[in-house]
Amino acid sequence: MKIQVPDNVASIVPYPPGKPLEELEREYGVRNSIKMASNENPWGPSPKAIQAIRGALENLHRYPDGSGYYLVHALAEKLGFSPDEIVLGNGSNEIIEMLVKAYVQNGDEVITSHPSFLMYQKIVQVRGGVNIVIPLTTGMHHDLATILSVITDQTRLIFLDNPNNPTGCPIKPTDLYSFLSAIPESVLVVLDEAYVDFMDSELQVDIFSLIRNTKRRCGVVSLRTFSKAYGLAGLRIGYGLMPSQVAGNLHRVRQPFNVNQLAQVGALAALEDEDFYQHTLRRTREGLNYLRSEVDKMGCKSYPSQTNFFLIDVRGDATLLYEAMLHKGVIIRSMKPYGYSDMVRITVGNEEENQRFLAALSSCLHELAYV
Ligand SMILES: Cc1ncc(COP(=O)(O)O)c(C=O)c1O
């Protein structure tokens, strides 16, 4: 083939896809492995979502509703927004893509933090935009002062995951409000709130007034997902809350049937399943506290988190520990590629998974003589 791929595409490192569990088990000769690496909900999908999806199977010969009418209206009702301020996506990932498609052209600048969710920079690169990447502070928070200082006339978007992935650190609401008041009106600030459900309520920002009261302030977008607290990662569905003008632009660039029928039906049922949602939040919080205290007893240092995952300083090379854990059938994430060479990221599991994880960690730490 003689077709050339542009440099901005050729230089992208594809998002590392995990292997199916069955393949890993074959490769490592283990059974009953568990995955605590992708910040999924270990309590499965909401039973109400499963039931609703079963009921929708008969209609799969039809295209989905391209406007997501029922889900958009249910979200609008629940969150107090107007339907024209809500855009659905094939995962919140797709909304990141729509934002970059709509607002970034060759040479425009987009500011992100490092480390943070990997996809922002990849999508900007595909579009021919320029990534301006600001390291997190030593305390692992977004460096808002430095971000402000690098804004130029070319800046179009700023992505802030709040809380940050992988550190789990939130932005203090008062810091965010003063940051936003200093941003030029020509810049759109995207708050990626994939883990907002897990946050302490006093740390959650008032997204409604940030989006609605735009007088003399930049536009704000909030990204939300059904992949985490709602347990529907496999369906791929998320949404964005934003000024209607921004939503109008995203509708210009999105595919007509971007969210499939089962995802719409499942998300609508999950949204209404308050018991499952509260159960997830409660058990996640309990699991996080329990895991952190057990890990600290082993001689590691765990970090506080406002999400369903947390970082552990394992006192030695994180990738070696990750490999050792794989041999015990426990999949975690090494933070070495993110620049935190001694840290791993763990997603809170269910009770059984948490026990398996702790037993495997204890034996790997001793095998590797880290503690
Ligand atoms: C910070 C952050 N944003 C967005 C996403 C993407 O979520 P979705 O499954 O809705 O595409 C993730 C997924 O892990 C994430 O961690």
Locate the ligand 1 atom nearest the alpha carbon of residue 165 and give its number.
Answer: 1
Looking at residue 13, its pLDDT comes to: 84
Specify the long-range contacts of residues 248-254, CB closer than 8 Å, at least 24 apart.
248/84, 249/102, 249/103, 250/87, 250/95, 250/98, 250/99, 250/102, 251/87, 252/102, 253/98, 253/101, 253/102, 254/87, 254/89, 254/94, 254/98
pLDDT digits (tens, 9 = 90+) for 260-269: 999 999 999 9
User: Where do the domains of the chain lie?
Assistant: 7-44+275-367, 47-271
Give the closest residue (by CA) to ligand 1 atom 3.
194
Locate the ligand 1 atom nearest the alpha carbon of residue 117 and give its number.
Answer: 1
Give the closest residue (by CA) to ligand 1 atom 8.
91
Locate the ligand 1 atom nearest the alpha carbon of residue 164 and give its number.
Answer: 1
Q: Give the distance (Å) from ligand 1 centre to CA of residue 363.
A: 31
Buried b (16+ CB within 10 A) or exposed e, 335-354: bbebebebbbbbbbbbeebb
333: confidence class by pLDDT, cuts 50, 70, 90 = very high
Of 206, 242, 269, 273, nearest to 76 (Cα)? 242
Q: How big is the chain by its Cα radius of gyration, in Å?
A: 21
Answer yes or no: is the C-beta of 238 below 6 A from any ligand 1 atom: yes
Q: Do domains 7-44+275-367 and 47-271 have the same CATH topology?
A: no
272: confidence class by pLDDT, cuts 50, 70, 90 = very high
Q: Tell me: pLDDT of 21 over 90.
A: no
Please compute, for residue 69, the number of CA atoms within 13 A of its CA located in the half-sphere on the CB side: 2
Answer yes or no: is the C-beta of 347 below 6 A from any ligand 1 atom: no
Q: Do the Cβ atoms of 264 and 81 come closer than 8 Å?
A: no
Region 203-211: what's the mean pLDDT? 95
Looking at residue 123, its pLDDT comes to: 96
Q: Tell me: pLDDT of 80 over 70.
A: yes
Q: Tell me: pLDDT of 35 over 90.
A: yes
Q: Do the Cβ atoms of 212 and 192 come closer than 8 Å?
A: no
216: confidence class by pLDDT, cuts 50, 70, 90 = low
User: Which one of 35, 97, 117, 199 would you pick to mutate in the ligand 1 pocket, going by the greatest count of ligand atoms within 8 A of its CB?
Assistant: 117
User: Which one of 116, 171, 192, 338 would you pick to mutate in the ligand 1 pocket, going by the greatest count of ligand atoms within 8 A of its CB?
Assistant: 192
Q: Tell me: pLDDT of 198 over 90.
A: yes
Q: Is the dihedral of CA 248, 254, 256, 262 positive or negative?
A: negative
Q: Do the Cβ atoms of 300 and 371 come closer than 8 Å?
A: yes
Answer yes or no: is the C-beta of 159 below 6 A from any ligand 1 atom: no
23: confidence class by pLDDT, cuts 50, 70, 90 = confident
Q: Tell me: pLDDT of 17 over 90.
A: no
Answer yes or no: is the C-beta of 233 below 6 A from any ligand 1 atom: yes
What CATH number does domain 7-44+275-367 carry, 3.30.465.10, 3.90.1150.10, 3.40.50.720, 3.40.50.2300? 3.90.1150.10
The whole-angstrom separation of Cα 126 and Cα 299 is 43
How many Å separate Cα 242 from the centre of its chain?
18
Answer yes or no: is the C-beta of 97 below 6 A from any ligand 1 atom: no
Answer yes or no: is the C-beta of 192 below 6 A from any ligand 1 atom: yes
The whole-angstrom separation of Cα 255 and Cα 66 is 9
Please compute, for residue 358, the number of CA atoms within 13 A of its CA located in the half-sphere on the CB side: 20
Region 275-282: what's the mean pLDDT? 98
Q: Tell me: pLDDT of 52 over 70.
A: yes
What CATH number does domain 47-271 carry, 3.40.50.460, 3.40.640.10, 3.40.50.300, 3.20.20.70? 3.40.640.10
Give start and end residues of each alpha helix (H) in the chain.
7-10, 21-28, 47-56, 69-79, 92-103, 119-126, 144-149, 173-181, 207-212, 244-253, 261-271, 274-297, 318-327, 351-367
Region 295-320: what's the mean pLDDT? 98
Locate the ligand 1 atom nearest the alpha carbon of residue 90 and give its number.
Answer: 11
